[in-house]
Amino acid sequence: MRRFAFAGRTCVVTGAASGIGAALALDLARRKAVLALVDKDAEGLARVASSAAELGATAVHTYPVDLADGGDRLDLAADVASRHGGADLLVNNAGVALSGSFEQVSMDDFDWLMEINLRAVVRMTKAFLPQLLDRPGAHVVNVSSVFGLIAPAAQVAYATSKFGVRGFTEALRHELAARGVGVTVVHPGGIATNIAANARISGPDPDGTQARQAREFAAASLTMPPAEAARQIVAAIQTRKPRLVITRPAKAADMLARLTPSRYWDVTRWLERRRSR
């Protein structure tokens, strides 16, 4: 399969108002892409669209859509087809986090997270697939997480969704291998976005402890600039890389899970105890 050329190609990016999605939009703009940007944050989306236009995007259109609403996205896909002739690249990047153990998390909150992190990925891909199959050299990128490689305690909902994205993407890649559509799954870890700090708290948090811990975790552990993550994702698209793991900690977690798939959590806790001495 040929390298992906971005200039003049229509690129759909979800979660485009901030973090990795916004950084991807700006990187693609510099490459003269046509952008269809999706996010529920209309104001943030407008700011990113304005910057993308200044950086040289061939065209930019925004879609203030809440992916938690369960829509089938056929209307969104139809609008992209009408305005731009169809999508050449679909990046399913939008995601949310949920704080609390499985015992604490309500089913409403669990379903909310699954709708955005997994079902929206499936719905968007289903809606845009006819266009992608009709565009020579099209590509799909689904952003999973380091927690699609390992599954820590207190991350049951998030890991469930991200392992789901991983499985969906790998199976889709195998289905589309002979159809001319490239598929990449991305496993970032430690990117400086607001996802942890903005995590929904499920269950009681009367003194704000869980919220404070989420902010402290974000400040200490999420350090790679989103622009660098975007650069690596764009390079992976260009070279049709099937799998991308971003940051050294994520790569270490991936290797640990491969070496000891049933004991990696015990090893992780042992290493953490040694570091804290």
The catalytic residues are 158
> Residues with Cβ < 8 Å from 30, sequence gap 6 or more?
55, 56
The number of angstroms, rounded, from the C-alpha of 235 to the middle of its chain's C-alpha atoms is 16
Q: Six-digit token pair at 178?
A: 């002979």
Distance CA 74, CA 25 (A): 22
SS3 241: coil
SS3 222: coil
Distance CA 264, CA 270 (A): 10
Q: Are 253 and 149 in contact (CB under 8 A)?
A: yes
Distance CA 178, CA 228 (A): 31
Distance CA 82, CA 149 (A): 38
Name residue 188's beta-bridge partners.
Answer: 246
* The residue type at 22: A
DSSP labels, 7-67: TT-EEEEESTTSHHHHHHHHHHHHTT-EEEEEES-HHHHHHHHHHHHHHT-SEEEEEE--G
Q: What is the CA radius of gyration of the chain?
A: 18
Distance CA 214, CA 263 (A): 26
Q: Six-digit token pair at 6?
A: 């971005």
